[in-house]
Chains A and B, each alone.
Chain A
Amino acid sequence: MREIFQNNRLVDNGSLKLYLRDQNLNKYGDYWVYSFWAIPYLNDIRTRSDLPFTTPWGCDQHPEFMRLPKLKFTDMSLSDILDKRAIEIHQRAVTDNKKIYIMFSGGIDSTTLLTAFIKNIPAQELDDRYTIIMSANSIAENYYFYKNYIHNKFRTINWLDLDVTQNLLKDTIVLHGDPANALLSVPTVNVITSLVEDGEHLKPFRPNVGTVIDTLESFVLKSRGRGVFGYGVREGWAEWYVSKMIDAIPQYEHATSVAAFWWWHYINFKWHGSMLRPFFFTRSSVQDPVSEEEFKYYYDTCFYINNDFHHWSYSNIDRIVRTPSDYKPEMRDYIYELTHDDLYRKHKGFKASRRTNLNAQQISTDMPLVYDKNWVGHPRSNEMMKTVIELLNEYKG
């Protein structure tokens, strides 16, 4: 059972928390589990094996190609990066003779992605090679874009009919809007919201580590006993957590503000999970493996995952975190250049994509607790939970 957790692709911490609510683990096991409760997006706890932040199921074994790129400043505009990335992926599809599926929710991230291809690729080439994966909700979310740029122009498939298998990945590049939210905007993190009003989130990070710890601790204590925070937190958790984060993520050396610290934290622990979403919700069987080769190809062609986006992100942290209410202005402008839809540019608000629990029946029967290194899903079971508890009891922080 333990080998399943070794080299795993992802552990569903979200459902672990439900099971482990009343378990009496050791101090570090409790700290670890509590992290799932307190930080909802902490769904992909991995680091490099030479760094001190380990997981109960062993250190990270992400393949080399999935590591974050080295930091570098860039002067490139986001618009140039988007154009460049669309052309690069299109050329790769032509060279490798692959089709391109674009998942379109109507939101800013996926509309920006699709806009990049419409702007940069000749129309006749779009007809042949491209398919839009969407739903009726996508039309509702961005009706004018659908009407003018998709309807009767692209082949469309409802996302419920998409089946991401090894065979599909062999001849198709699957593109989606994740993790643009983590890279290109202010993360939607309610933990530090209380600091924004007085501008405390813009104070230098290092001298204000204490503020981050206090804010996190008070956020957790305030929530204690309510909703998901029914689980009792051990004192000192926030200090442990923040110091672990600082040790684990070298980029914190460059965090210029409290908000920037949280921003890096978000990037590190959200981006993997979100860019892997097609593997969770659009596979008819989680028993069919996906080879490392196909997975690497998927990763390499993940639209928002490349050095340019990361460098742009890093170079613009201070501006991005300064005004959380100004949500993705560059992307709005980028779409506007094509559509001249001022309504969308001015008023499009944040809205989660089509709810992923819509297929609740499928999720309840098929959603695995852990995906192993071959992307085979393993469901929850008593034996599995026993193993998790053993691993957590052995965990020494």
Chain B
Amino acid sequence: MKNSVKRMNLIGFALVSSNRNRILFFNKDYEVTKRLQLYYMRNDLLYLAPLDRFMLQKHLLAFRQDPSLPEFNEQNCMEFTLNNATILPVEMDVAPFRFSRIQIDTTLSKPKPEEYNIHLNLQHASTVIEEVEELVDRRIQHAMDDAQYILKGYEMFHKFCRENLTAGESIDYMFKKDIEDELQFKNTFLDIKRNITEKIMGLDYTIDPTLFREQLKQDILSVHETNPNKYSDMITKRMHTL
């Protein structure tokens, strides 16, 4: 099949369980799926696989044969897939496991409760992670822009002082200290991001979804509320509404 046709029929990306008999997560966005896969890796290995309509054809047929099911869309088809594991040949995307293709095994068994929990928890985590990280990223970007602007200002004014004041080490020292501090300030945001990542990676995805939601909320809040600064306030507020 031509790549262009493949792209047209691509419906999104899945995370497939390590024994390759379940699709545990599906999202249209590669970045979301990829990031979640990386977060989850501390718990277990999940394969990331791109899915297109042809790959779901079998499910599609099964889906249509069942009149009790709602109208077909990708999401409920994936739900159906989760609950009715069957052969699903998919292409592997993810390093470091360099298979070119992967096949989801047929088990015909109902998923175990913890598998279903993983599925729901991954879905919830993906939403929260995206939102929180977007906020943090926006803040980092803002701080970076701000820092660049400020550093440029320091540079220009330092040059001016050197040209207009008699030489003295004190000028260079003043600027050096302030610039170091400016950079340290910027690094604070990266620390927040690192801390959130640590927390998310350490979560138990097999637990009850209600418990998981609360745990995720508390863990992210703990990063911000034990280290509050004005930039984390918006994240804290958002988490309180979840």
Contacts and interface: CB of A to CB of B under 8 A. Distances in A.
Contacts of A361: 184-185, 187-188, 191
Given A15-B228, A136-B158, A152 B166 contact: yes
Among B175, B188, B231, the most chain A Cβ lie within 10 Å of the Cβ of: B188
A358 B175 contact: no
A374 interface: no
Chain B interface size, under 10 / 10 to 19 / 20 to 34 / 35 or more:
20 to 34
Given A136-B158, A158-B173, A19 B178 contact: no
A359 interface: yes
Interface in B161-211: 161, 164-166, 168, 170-171, 173-175, 177-178, 181-182, 184-185, 187-188, 191
A147 B174 contact: no
A141 B203 CA distance: 49
A352 interface: no
A135 interface: yes
Interface string A334-361: 0000000000000000000000011111
Contacts of B73: none
Interface string B44-84: 00000000000000000000000000000000000000000
Contacts of A72: none
A140 interface: yes
Given A18-B225, A136-B158, A158-B173, A359 B178 contact: no
Interface string A142-163: 0000010001100010101100
A139 interface: yes
A358 B184 CA distance: 8
Interface in A2-51: 15, 18-19, 21-22
Given A18-B236, A22-B240, A364 B227 contact: yes
B154 interface: yes
Nearest to A161: B177
B157 interface: yes
Interface in A357-397: 357-361, 363-365, 380
A151 B165 contact: yes
Nearest to B186: A360
A134 interface: yes
Nearest to B232: A364
A273 B149 CA distance: 32
Nearest to B240: A22
A155 to B, nearest CB: 8
A152 B175 CA distance: 16
Interface of B is mostly: helix
Contacts of A358: 181-182, 185
B133 interface: no
Contacts, number: 73
A69 interface: no
Given A136-B157, A136-B174, A152 B229 contact: no
B187 A156 contact: no
Contacts of A307: none
Contacts of B191: 361
A134 B187 contact: no
Nearest to A132: B170
A153 to B, nearest CB: 10
B70 to A, nearest CB: 38
B229 A357 contact: yes
Interface of A is mostly: helix
B112 interface: no
A139 B174 contact: yes
B119 to A, nearest CB: 30
A21 B221 CA distance: 13
A52 interface: no
Nearest to B169: A156
A358 B231 CA distance: 12
B165 A147 contact: yes
Among B178, B227, B237, the most chain A Cβ lie within 10 Å of the Cβ of: B178
Contacts of B175: 136
B19 interface: no
B230 interface: yes
A127 to B, nearest CB: 14
A132 to B, nearest CB: 9
Contacts of A136: 154, 157-158, 174-175, 177-178
Given A136-B154, A363-B229, A364-B229, A230 B237 contact: yes
Contact of B164 (A19, A147, A228): A147
Nearest to B165: A151
Given A21-B240, A364-B188, A137 B178 contact: yes
Given A136-B177, A152-B166, 10 more contacts: A18-B225, A136-B158, A140-B157, A158-B173, A158-B174, A228-B233, A360-B229, A361-B185, A364-B188, A364-B229
Interface of A: 15, 18-19, 21-22, 134-137, 139-140, 147, 151-152, 156, 158, 160-161, 228, 230, 357-361, 363-365, 380
25 contacts: A15-B228, A18-B225, A18-B228, A19-B225, A22-B240, A134-B174, A135-B177, A135-B178, A136-B158, A136-B174, A136-B177, A137-B178, A139-B161, A152-B168, A152-B170, A160-B177, A160-B178, A359-B184, A360-B185, A360-B188, A360-B229, A360-B231, A361-B184, A361-B185, A361-B187
The 10 closest A-B pairs by CB, nearest first: A364-B227, A158-B177, A360-B188, A136-B174, A136-B178, A136-B175, A156-B170, A360-B229, A361-B188, A160-B177
